[in-house]
Amino acid sequence: MSQAGFEIPFVKHLGLEIVEFGDGRSLLRFAPRPEHGNSYGMAHGGAVMTLLDVAMAVAAMDPAQPGIGGITIEMKTSFMRPAIGVLSARGQVLHRTRSLVFLEASVLNGDDQVCAHATGTFTLRPRPAPAELGTGSGIAA
């Protein structure tokens, strides 16, 4: 995720790639590995939800304010078909207030069919400085 000027260790671990973002939109790509699958041979719902969540958070970001990140307040997800192949996610801002951003995102499977859709509400906050991470955050160093 360093393409956006910061890193999220879990997102980096999954291998999500930001293809583009700006103007209230985002495009991400995810090539699931076998360990990202479920017992049905498709991407696990948790991995798909992470892709949707990050697509919305990235769409909420403003490249002119690189120190501000999105924090998920709520998210509703619907799964429509198997998440197989290389997945892409498109996020889009629906409405923005001073303190909240309302968004939607869709994940398309390798055949460019929508396999999952989400709506979410995010708040924008300054990201902590690297020295602040791990201090009372519940993340072990």
Over residues 40-60, the pLDDT tens digits come to: 999 999 999 999 999 999 999
Domain 2-132, CATH number (from 3.40.50.1820, 3.30.200.20, 3.40.50.970, 3.10.129.10): 3.10.129.10
- Each residue's pLDDT tens digit, 11-22: 899 999 999 999
CA gap 62, 49 in Å, rounded: 22
pLDDT of residue 71: 94
Helix (H, G, I), strand (E, B) or coil at 83: coil
Model confidence band, residue 3 (pLDDT cutoffs 50, 70, 90): low
Residue of 124, 138, 127, 132 lying closest to 59 (CA atoms): 124
For CA atoms 49, 50, 55, 59, give the dihedral sign: positive
Answer whether 19's CB lies under 8 Å from 87's CB. Answer: no
Model confidence band, residue 141 (pLDDT cutoffs 50, 70, 90): very low
pLDDT of residue 1: 46
CA gap 111, 83 in Å, rounded: 10
Token code pair at residue 127? 């990201």
Percent of the chain at pLDDT > 90 equals: 68
Residue of 59, 62, 69 lying closest to 126 (CA atoms): 69
Q: Which H helix or E strand runs over 121?
A: strand 114-126
Q: Domain ranges in the chain?
A: 2-132
- Each residue's pLDDT tens digit, 66-110: 888 889 999 999 999 999 999 999 999 999 998 899 999 999 998
- pTM across the whole model: 0.87
| Residue that is written with structure tokens 């999220």 in the block | 8
Q: Which H helix or E strand runs over 115?
A: strand 114-126
pLDDT of residue 8: 79
